[in-house]
Amino acid sequence: MSEREPGEWNWGGSHRFRAARIHRPHTIDDVAAIAREATSLRAIGSRHSFTDIADSAELVSLDEFDTEMTLDEDAGTVTVGGQATYGDVARLLEPHGLALRNMASLPHISVAGAIATGTHGGGVANGSLATAVAGLEFVTTAGEIVHVDRSSIDFEGMVVSLGALGIVTRVSLDVVFDYDIEQHVFEHLSHDVLASAFEAILGAAYSVSVFTSYDRDGARVWIKRRVDGRDRSLRPGQIFHEAIAATTAHHPIRGAAADQCTRQLGVPGSWADRLPHFRIGSTPSVGDEQQSEFFVALADGPAALDALRGVAGDLADALLTSEIRAVAADELWLSPQYRRDSAAFHFTWVNDADLVDRAVRVVEEALGPFAPRPHWGKVFHADSFSASDAYECLDDFVELARRFDPHGVFVNDWWRRCIGGDNGGP
């Protein structure tokens, strides 16, 4: 990892926080007092976003916040503090024989930060992690403590909140009975085969990821298959869509050592140790990097893939790996999967601002015909994207933000650039 100047940095080392102060409250009354007094404030989670989305003059970190996790087996939910990581939640659920429906590629991210940006895992039938949210507690800038659940009016607008409605102190998540997964990697998948069987490949198991650099070496497919019979149609053998079963463990970045990755080679294990690509307690990915991701309609996936293959040469200097996953549609107003089953095209870049800037422009142009929606927590150009064109509920969301934050305390530079306007703030 390259040397960083002193200061507060995001996880990937691409953004140094400008905030002059970070509050670390212990109780919800502390949070309310901070929110009431601040004129420019944001909550910060585990800092895994790649831009200034979580920056402001003042920050609130819930690292020292005192919350217990509670299970409500009748309701089928677990309630955790906003700062809990998915790894923390997994550790709580496993002894009870319970599980989450899905995880992102890493268990290290905070629940509140992940749902705020619409973070997702893989699976044609799996919605983003935000779709598992059954209820929320958040503190507004008036210091009011708000409790909402799926029966509340406008709940669909409150989950993927971009951090703009309040400080999320508790989140209730749906739980299911636990399940085991085995992970198989196949190499040398030709891009032509991928394009011709795009939905069949991404839908071949509970969760599927395709890693590629769009070059001649083809792609690798990571199949996360449930061993409880749900993925009965898939019988992993030596060949999958002409790709060949790997005989050693792989890292998403070609050539990188796989020791930080979750167990592969078909060894069954708990959902929490197989759905993420990276192990709890490990360093995920490379740790000195930037990321971007764009979502198009699943049906446009093959054409989007072809478009990216056409510009592979222009991405090569910046690209460490690209991951393609499917994510199911949902009803959450600012979810990148809002009413659209989606193909997600993710890019892990080297941490070089100029190279990334150029490469992201190339991707945005290539995917332009498919009305791409960017991942809120990753790098995109605000001038290549219109939030109001992409999200039919954007005005309703801005109205909601004004209702909970009438003075625009949560409005930051990122919001002004990417959403536009000042939300009625100063």
Contact footprint for ligand FAD (CB under 6 A): 11-12, 42-49, 53-54, 62, 82, 104-106, 109-110, 112-114, 116-117, 119-120, 162-163, 167-168, 284-285, 291, 375, 377
Q: In the complex with ligand FAD, which residue's Cβ is closer, 131 or 285?
A: 285
Is there a contact between 244 and 238 (Cβ–Cβ < 8 Å)?
A: yes
Q: In the complex with ligand FAD, which residue's Cβ is closer, 193 or 329?
A: 329
The CA distance from 191 to 212, in Å, is: 9
Q: In the complex with ligand FAD, which residue's Cβ is closer, 92 or 167?
A: 167
Shortest Cβ distance from residue 72 to ligand FAD (Å)? 21
Shortest Cβ distance from residue 83 to ligand FAD (Å)? 6
Strands (E), 202-328: 207-212, 219-226, 239-240, 243-245, 269-270, 289-297, 319-327
Shortest Cβ distance from residue 54 to ligand FAD (Å)? 4
Shortest Cβ distance from residue 358 to ligand FAD (Å)? 21
Q: In the complex with ligand FAD, which residue's Cβ is closer, 213 or 335?
A: 335
The CA distance from 152 to 192, in Å, is: 46
Angle (CA) 200 121 391, round 5°: 90
Backbone phi, then psi, for 108, in 5-degree steps? -80, -15
Is there a contact between 330 and 115 (Cβ–Cβ < 8 Å)?
A: no
Q: In the complex with ligand FAD, which residue's Cβ is closer, 98 or 334?
A: 334
- For 13, the token pair is 């080392």
Is there a contact between 124 and 344 (Cβ–Cβ < 8 Å)?
A: no
The CA distance from 118 to 397, in Å, is: 15
The CA distance from 404 to 166, in Å, is: 7
Shortest Cβ distance from residue 121 to ligand FAD (Å)? 6
Give, as one character, the DSSP assignment of residue 336: T
Closest residue to ligand FAD, Cβ-based? 113
The CA distance from 210 to 221, in Å, is: 4
Shortest Cβ distance from residue 291 to ligand FAD (Å)? 6
The CA distance from 420 to 338, in Å, is: 20
Shortest Cβ distance from residue 73 to ligand FAD (Å)? 25
Q: In the complex with ligand FAD, which residue's Cβ is closer, 62 or 318?
A: 62
The CA distance from 263 to 277, in Å, is: 9
200: part of which helix (H) or strand (E)? helix 198-202
Shortest Cβ distance from residue 278 to ligand FAD (Å)? 7
Nearest to 372 by CA among 321, 323, 316, 300: 300
148: part of which helix (H) or strand (E)? strand 145-149
- For 69, the token pair is 């996790």
The CA distance from 326 to 294, in Å, is: 12
- For 27, the token pair is 């109780």
Burial of 314 from C-beta contacts in 10 A (0-12 / 13-18 / 19+): middle
Q: In the complex with ligand FAD, which residue's Cβ is closer, 112 or 297?
A: 112
Q: In the complex with ligand FAD, which residue's Cβ is closer, 117 or 264?
A: 117
Q: In the complex with ligand FAD, which residue's Cβ is closer, 218 or 252?
A: 252
Q: In the complex with ligand FAD, which residue's Cβ is closer, 170 or 226?
A: 170
Shortest Cβ distance from residue 43 to ligand FAD (Å)? 3
Shortest Cβ distance from residue 356 to ligand FAD (Å)? 14
